[in-house]
Amino acid sequence: MIQMKNVTKKYSNGVVAVNGISVHIKPGEFVYVVGPSGAGKSTFIKLMYREEKATTGSVIVNGIDLSTLKNRQVPQFRRNVGVVFQDFKLLPRLTAYENIAFALEVTEEEPTKIRKRVMEVLELVGLSHKARMFPHELSGGEQQRVSIARSIINTPQLVIADEPTGNLDPDTSWDIMHLFEKINAQGTTIVMATHNKEIVNTARRRVIAIEGGIIVRDEAGGEYGYER
Amino acid sequence: MKGRTLSRHFRESFKSLGRNGWMTFASIGTVTVTLILVGVFALIMTNLNKLADDIENDVEIKILIDDLAGSKEERELLAKIKKLPDITDVKYSSRDEELKKVIKDYGDDFVLHEQSNPLRNAIYVKAINPQETANVAKKIDKFEYTAEVNYGKGKVEKLFKVLNTSRNAGLVLIIGLLLTAVFLIFNTIRTTIFARRDEIEIMKLVGATNSFVRIPFLLEGAWLGLLGSVIPVTVVAVLYYNVHKSISPNLKGELLQLQSFSPLIYQVSALLIALGVIIGMFGSFISMRKFLKI
Ligand SMILES: Nc1ncnc2c1ncn2[C@@H]1O[C@H](COP(=O)(O)OP(=O)(O)O)[C@@H](O)[C@H]1O
Ligand SMILES: [Mg+2]
């Protein structure tokens, strides 16, 4: 699903955020990415949906080599990768429904099919009754549900999440976590950067720990390994 | 792009106008104020220009025909003048007609002269390009049987100098104001786009192509420009209609006339709408570019 070889990422200001990472993530896996702040987790993740381009090395996602992917092919590629952010990144002037539909409208899908599919995922994340609300009318947990619904609207093989519970209280975090587990149970690969010790240590999965831009630990069913 | 996507873009652009309420209102306000300035100024400048033209076009060459010329020679002279390529409005005026004019202009004191008219037959002519008056006069002066060729030498040159200077000043002012207007509208649009740069990024991150993101913004820019030109077009038309109504009757038969309402007001309106819409779209296009690169 994801294959990285000797990947480095040097930002234009000279910071080397990823410093030689090789990793293989197989279809259907659920992977936590942990590590201290500034370790390079977000950069590692951004390389997977091509928000950032690797400086050297190769990144292959869904069988697509991102180092040779043309700019105009990027939108098509992104439609097959769901992305969830810590700050939700919802469009503030669109309702929950419209935010989710947007990710399907970009594919120029038929309106009736869009409608049906949006209703389905709203149901899945348990927000059918709040479809007409704007992001600012929703709680953090609800906004994150909308963003998760949006990430899976195109039924991607891979969903990437960067600290999706970072802004949420513990109970809500667990709700969101269960949602990811549900999506994973349907066969979707999940890569999640997180600082949530409790979740990592309770819902045991593969853990990739990054420090200083390199992988320092990669173990199945591993633990969080940091104080917070 | 599919047809339904295009109609989706139109729908989104309208929806966005409504949902960006305050921002939309502020942008339309700025465009409105700017275009009112441009419109009023355009009207003033066109009329000043018309004024200059009217004054210029009033410059006439008066040819006094030599008393030695018989009617045959006079006809030949007239024919020669008419053949000149750069003249217009040739008028023959007999000495009797000349005297009538003098009497009309200066009063009955001159009636006495009706018995023994001291004036000469005359030909009046205008240069097609008034600025060429002196050259035309010189050419005519070389013809036979011309006693005198007058066009207000000295005064005319000074007049043209003043008119040309004011025309150039007007042009500079117009260009300056247009550039300012372009800048102001452009900046307004840029501010609205900048406030929404995050949205552009989000759209790109969930798989929208550049054009899918861009088109609704371009349309929205066009609507802002269009809506911003409604009040200016109305103001300019109503204003000019009333100015015309109150001033024109007083100018009846005078040399100086206001530029007529009809084509002018449509031209100015078209200018205002075009300025608003084109800069609205173009401004959106330019301002978005850097945020689409993600
Ligand atoms: N866009 C950027 N430009 C320059 N430096 C960046 C950028 N993004 C992150 N960095 C730097 O790269 C390093 C890794 O950051 P990041 O990947 O966000 O780490 P993490 O998500 O683990 O906190 C940090 O030193 C950070 O300052
Ligand atoms: Mg981070």
pLDDT at residue A13, rounded to an integer: 95
| A84 beta partners | A161
For residue B126, count other CB atoms closer than 10 A to its CB: 21
- Count of structural domains, chain B: 2
Burial class of B82 by CB neighbour count within 10 A (0 to 12, 13 to 18, 19+): exposed
Nearest residue to A86 (alpha-carbon basis) of A161, A14, A181:
A161
Kindly report the number of other CB atoms within 10 A of residue A158's CB atom: 22
Residues A205 and A141 in one domain: no
Same-domain status, A76 and A172: yes
C-alpha–C-alpha distance, residues A150 and B206, integer Å: 8
As a whole number, the mean pLDDT across chain A is 95
- Give residue-wise pLDDT tens across range B134-186: 888 888 888 888 888 888 778 888 888 888 888 889 889 889 989 998 999 89
Nearest CA in chain A to B204: A75
Residues of B in contact with A103 (CB under 8 A): 206-207
- Encode pLDDT of A50-66 as tens digits: 999 999 999 999 999 99
DSSP 8-state symbol, A226: S
pLDDT band at B114 (very low <50, low <70, confident <90, very high): low
Q: What would the two tokens of residue B50 be?
A: 């018309």
List, as one string, the DSSP characters of A81-149.
Answer: EEEEETT----TTS-HHHHHHHHHHTTT--HHHHHHHHHHHHHHTT-GGGTT--GGGS-HHHHHHHHHH
B216 close to B12: Cβ distance less than 8 angstroms: yes
- Domain co-membership, B164 together with B143: no
Nearest by Cα to A1 from A153, A159, A154: A159
Spatial contact of A206 and A30, defined as CB atoms under 8 Å apart? yes
Boundary (domain end) residue, out of B101, B126, B150: B150
Q: Which residues contact B124 (CB under 8 A, 6 or more apart)?
A: B60, B61, B62, B63, B89, B90, B91, B93
Count structural domains, chain A.
2
Which atom belonging to ligand 1 lies closest to the Cα atom of A16?
A: 12
Give the sign of the dihedral formed by CA B39, CA B40, CA B43, CA B49: negative
The pLDDT > 90 percentage for chain B reads 41
Q: Is the pLDDT of residue A94 over 90?
A: yes
A70 touches chain B (CB under 8 A): no
Tell me the CA distances in angstroms from B214 to A25, A154, B20, B220, one per residue in order: 35, 22, 17, 10
**Are both B271 and B203 inside the same structural domain?**
yes
Residues B89 and B115 in one domain: yes
Q: Any idea which ligand is nearest the CA of A43?
A: 1
Number of the ligand closest to the Cα of A34: 1
pLDDT surpassing 80 at residue A228: no
**For position B160, what pLDDT does the model report?**
85
For residue B98, the Cα-to-chain-centroid distance in whole angstroms is 37
Q: Write out the residues of chain B at the interface with chain A, using a CB-CB cutoff of 8 A.
A: 1-2, 4-5, 8, 16, 19-20, 198-199, 201-209, 212, 294
Global pTM value:
0.84
**CATH code, domain with A72:** 3.40.50.300
- Domain end among B89, B123, B150: B150
| Integer Cα distance of B123 and B77 in angstroms | 9
Tokens representing A209 are 């720990």
Distance from the alpha carbon of residue A34 to the mean position of ligand 1, in angstroms? 14
The range of the structural domain enclosing residue B66 comes to 60-150
Co-location of A113 and A132 in the same domain:
yes
CB contact under 8 A, A89 and B212: no
B263 close to B166: Cβ distance less than 8 angstroms: no
Please provide the average confidence, as pLDDT, over all residues in chain B: 88
Examine the domain organization and report whether B274 and B177 are in the same domain: yes
Residues A141 and A199 in one domain: no
Residue B99 CA to residue B102 CA, distance in Å, equals 5
Chain B touched by A155 (CB under 8 Å): no
Tokens of residue B198, six digits: 């995050």
d(CA A67, CA A56): 9
User: Which of A150, A114, A146 is CA-nearest to residue A131?
Assistant: A146
Residue whose pair of structure tokens reads 């300035």 in the numeric block: B37
Count residue pairs from A and B with Cβ separation < 8 A: 53
State if residue A35 touches ligand 1 by the CB under 6 angstroms criterion. yes
Cβ <8 Å between A107 and B5: no
Cross-chain Cβ contact B203/A102 below 8 Å: yes
How many angstroms separate the CA atoms of B170 and A112, rounded? Answer: 59
Q: A38 lies in a domain?
A: yes
- Give per-residue pLDDT as tens, B208-252: 999 999 999 999 999 999 999 999 999 999 999 998 888 888 877
- Contact list in A for residue B4 (CB cut-off 8 A) is 108, 110-111
* Smallest CA separation from ligand 1 atom 7, residue: A11
Q: Mean of the pLDDT values across residues B22-30?
A: 91
Distances (CA, A) of B235 to A163, B24, B52, B163: 56, 21, 26, 29
Q: Which amino acid is at A172?
A: T
Nearest CA to B64 out of B181, B146, B185, B153 is that of: B146
Tokens in use for B264? Answer: 């002018």
Predicted pLDDT at A92: 94
B42 three-class SS: helix
| CB-count burial class (<10 Å; 0-12, 13-18, 19+) for A68 | exposed
B279 and B163 belong to one structural domain: yes
Supply the pLDDT for residue B107: 75
CATH number (domain holding residue B112): 3.30.70.3040
How is residue A24 written in tokens?
A: 């293989």
pLDDT of residue B113: 67
Q: Atom 10 of ligand 1 has which residue's CA nearest to it?
A: A17
* Contact present, B63 and B123 (Cβ < 8 Å): yes
Are B179 and B211 contained in the same domain? Answer: yes
- Which SS3 state, helix, strand or coil, does residue B65 take? strand
Give the containing element (helix H, strand E) for B109. Answer: none
pLDDT of residue B130: 86
Query: What one-letter code names the amino acid at B53?
Result: D
Q: Return d(Cα B185, Cα B226) in angstroms, integer.
A: 12
Q: How many helices (H) and strands (E) does chain A have?
A: 7, 10
Same domain for A176 and A63: yes
Domain edge (last residue) among A153, A178, A205? A153
- Interface ipTM: 0.93
pLDDT tens digits along B68-93: 878 888 888 888 888 888 888 888 88
Domain ranges, residue A110:
90-153
| pLDDT tens digits, A35-46 | 999 999 999 999
Helix (H, G, I), strand (E, B) or coil at B91: strand
- pLDDT beyond 80 at B253: no
Q: Quick one: closest CA in A to B212, which residue?
A: A106
